[in-house]
Structure 1
Amino acid sequence: MVFSDEEITHLHRIYKTVLQMLRDRNYVVSDAELNMSRQEFKSNFGDHMKREDLFINKSYKNNPSDKISVFFVNDAKIGVKTVRGIIQRMLTESVSRGVLICQNPLSHYGRAAVSEMASKCRLEIFLEDELLVNITMHYLVPPHQVLTDAEKRALLNKYTVKETQLPRILMTDPIAKYYGLRRGQVVRIIRPSETAGRYVTYRYVV
């Protein structure tokens, strides 16, 4: 299959956003990868590239054994067999976290397969259209910082509140999806303030 120029541009933008997302999650991504031009992208993967060729595997900065895999699938519609095959590959390669980039939403059975294996590995689902633009770079989106467990405990002790008393953010929120937030985590949001210079709020992931 030969992709048109428009399709190559489409995939290059998605690929770049994925790499930015992984770096923002503290996985090791080089500057050369992040700055890959469209021409370099085309040269690296060729005119006859398949989406599967865009597979990415990265290690966490503070723990090289903690890996994440990103899967691209050529099929416009992804069936349960493909989902189970990806999950089995993750289990075989001891990868506890994965990202599946789809052209169209998963079927009910595909989503069920992901849920069934959630206790063994986590597979996040993104549509290609969701990754054409990095939403965190939009001027209306303030910086978000994911708190460590220690930072979360310090925050709750400082204000003598329970985590459930904090304002909430849904796991399905685009920002929460971008950072791969899990239920129970807390994120710090830094907004500009005309009086104080900046205004800090916190959200509890539900």
Structure 2
Amino acid sequence: MQMLKDRDYLIVDHDLNMTMLQFKNKHGENMKREDRTINRRKRGRESDQLFDGICIYVFFPEEPKVGFKTMKSYITRMNQENVIRAILVAQQNLTPFAKTSISVMGSKYRLEIFQEAELLVNIKEHVLVPEHRVLANKEKKTLLERCTVKETQLPRIQLIDPIARYYELKRGQVVKIIWPSETAGRFVTYHYVI
């Protein structure tokens, strides 16, 4: 839920601050993983919500190793509701057939795969991870003009970097990274996503 909120999806504070006891009272003691499926909208105009890929599903497959049949059911569900984005929280790796289905659907749908273990700790809250903020296109243009550099001359951050995956960064974006500094108070750097 915190990752969705950081990506600017509509998440109520109650869902973020819920204790384990409150979660069990709300969803029951023997809740299945499939029952935890989440569907949220991004902040913005109502007319844009369904067709701009601004809705997202978060799926929690029941089986430890996700197969083609499960992937097909998720794709069908997304197709019926015109949702093109999804996050799959898997217990283990996917089967080769499931990976193939993801690569085939890649042109129409945007599906991210996270291992459950990757989401047990919010990496954004770690003491060694500085604050990251994605620049809007206008801010990026202003920065490049002010510093008289090309975006490719900036330090780089890869798409597979855990923080890039957390924020769902895209190639070509520029991220402002603010490090705490004992001497200067804070140190700001900009990274180009490759």
Give the TM-score normalised by the residue count of structure 2. Answer: 0.91
Give, in whole Å, the separation in 1 of the partners of 2:140 and 2:75.
31
Bigger mean CA deviation after superposition, 60-69 or 174-183: 60-69
Q: SS in structure 2 opposite 1:119? A: coil
Aligned residue in 2 for 1:37:
19
Give, in whole Å, the separation in 1 of the partners of 2:143 and 2:79.
35
Aligned residue in 2 for 1:86:
74
Give, in whole Å, the separation in 2 of the partners of 1:200 and 1:84.
44
Cα separation, partners in 2 of 1:81 and 1:157, compared to 1, 3 Å: farther
Which stretches in structure 2 are left out of the alignment for 5+ residues?
none
Aligned residue in 2 for 1:102:
90
Q: For each residue in 1:18-74, what CA deviation from the matched residue of structure 2 results, as whole angstroms up to 9, or x when unmatched? A: x00011111111111111110111112212211011111111112441211101111
Cα separation, partners in 2 of 1:40 and 1:118, compared to 1, 3 Å: same
How far did 1:102 drift?
A: 0.1
Q: SS in structure 1 opposite 2:121? A: coil
Q: SS in structure 2 opposite 1:52? A: helix
What amino acid is aligned across from residue 45 of structure 1 in structure 2?
Answer: H
What amino acid is aligned across from residue 194 of structure 1 in structure 2?
Answer: E
2:187 is aligned with 1:199: yes
Which stretches in structure 1 are left out of the alignment for 5+ residues?
1-18
2:33 is aligned with 1:51: yes
Q: SS in structure 2 opposite 1:48? A: coil
Question: Pairwise CA RMSD of aligned residues?
Answer: 1.4
Give, in whole Å, the separation in 1 of the partners of 2:72 and 2:171.
24
Q: For each residue in 1:77-98, what CA deviation from the matched residue of structure 2 results, as whole angstroms up to 9, or x when unmatched? A: 1012212321232232111211
Q: For each residue in 1:134-176, what CA deviation from the matched residue of structure 2 results, as whole angstroms up to 9, or x when unmatched? A: 0110111110111122222222222222222211111111111
Bigger mean CA deviation after superposition, 75-84 or 23-32: 75-84
After the TM superposition, which residues 35-184 of structure 1 pair with which residues of structure 2 at under 5 Å, given as runs? Answer: 35-64=17-46, 65=49, 66-184=54-172
Aligned residue in 2 for 1:7:
none
Verify the 8 A CA contact 1:71 1:99 in the aligned structure 2: yes
Q: Please list every run of at least 4 consecutive aligned residues from structure 1 whose deviation after the TM superposition is greater than 4 angstroms.
A: none
Aligned residue in 2 for 1:6:
none
Question: What percentage of residue pairs aligned between the two structures are identical?
Answer: 53
Q: SS in structure 2 opposite 1:199? A: strand
Give, in whole Å, the separation in 1 of the partners of 2:62 and 2:137.
38
What amino acid is aligned across from residue 139 of structure 2 in structure 1?
Answer: E
What amino acid is aligned across from residue 150 of structure 1 in structure 2?
Answer: K
Give, in whole Å, the separation in 1 of the partners of 2:114 and 2:5.
17
How far did 1:106 drift?
A: 1.6
What amino acid is aligned across from residue 73 of structure 2 in structure 1?
Answer: G
Verify the 8 A CA contact 1:91 1:121 in the aligned structure 2: no
Give, in whole Å, the separation in 1 of the partners of 2:70 and 2:33.
14
How far did 1:112 drift?
A: 2.6
